[in-house]
Amino acid sequence: MLSAYYSKLMDIDSTSSPTEKVLPTDAEVFRALKAGQSDAIGILYDRYASLVYRLSLKILANYQEAEDLTQEIFLTLWRSNTYNPARGSLSSYLTTLTRSRAIDKIRSRGTKLKFLQRWGQMMKTETASNTPFEAASLSQRSHQVHSALAQLPANHRQVLEMAYYDGLSQSEIAKKLDIPLGTIKTWSRQGLLNLRKNLQDFIE
C-alpha cells in the first residue's frame, strides 16, 4: 500500500519542527504509481485536478466536457507511459496534454457541424441521376440524421437544422434569429454532443 510508502516519505527530520513534514515529490509519487501502488493516483489527482479542470473549462467552455476531460487526463496518466519525470515537471506535462486533448475536442465539434452542413447540401443537390442503390443509401442516411435531430430540444434542433439545411454559420444563425452569438454557440455545442452517438458511424 502507498500509505506505508507515503508515511516513510513524510518522516520528520530530527531537527525539524512537528509541522515541517517532508512531502513526497511528484516524481516519487509517480514512480510509486508505476510500481503498482494505485492509490498514488489519488495524491496526484488532489494536487493537479483543479489545474486540469480549470484549463479544460477555459478551452471547452462546457462544465460536463471539462469534468469528462479531467477524468480522461488522469486515466491517461495512470495507464500510459507518456510522462517521463526526467523530461519535465508533471504540471507542465498535464498542462500540455490537457490543452492538446481539449483542442482535439474543439476540432471534433467543427467536424460534426461541417458534416451536417455538407450533408444538407448533398441532399439538396440529389438528382434523378442517382442509381437506385445510391438513392437508397442517401435516404437511409438522411433518415438517420432526421431521427437524431428530432430527439433534440427545440432550440438545439433549430440551430442545427439551419446549419444542416441552409449551410449557415453560427454568426449567420445568430443574426437571423436575433439571438446572442454566445447562446447560439452553446445550443450548437450541446446539440452536437447529443448527436454524437447517433451519427458516429457517418462522421468517422
Q: Which residues of the chain have pLDDT under 50?
A: 1-6, 8-16, 122-139, 203-204
Rounded to two decimals, the pTM is 0.50
Pick the closest to residue 26 from 11, 43, 10 (CA basis).
43
CATH number of the structural domain 126-203? 1.10.10.10
3-class SS of residue 72: helix
Location of each CATH 1.10.1740.10 domain in the chain: 2-107
Largest pairwise CA distance in the chain: 89
Residue 16's pLDDT is 46
Location of each CATH 1.10.10.10 domain in the chain: 126-203
For domain 2-107, say whether CATH 1.10.1760.20 is its number: no
**Position of cell 517521463?**
84
Residue 19's pLDDT is 54
Q: Which amino acid is at 136?
A: A
Residue 97's pLDDT is 95
pLDDT tens-digit readout, 58-81: 888 888 888 889 999 999 999 888
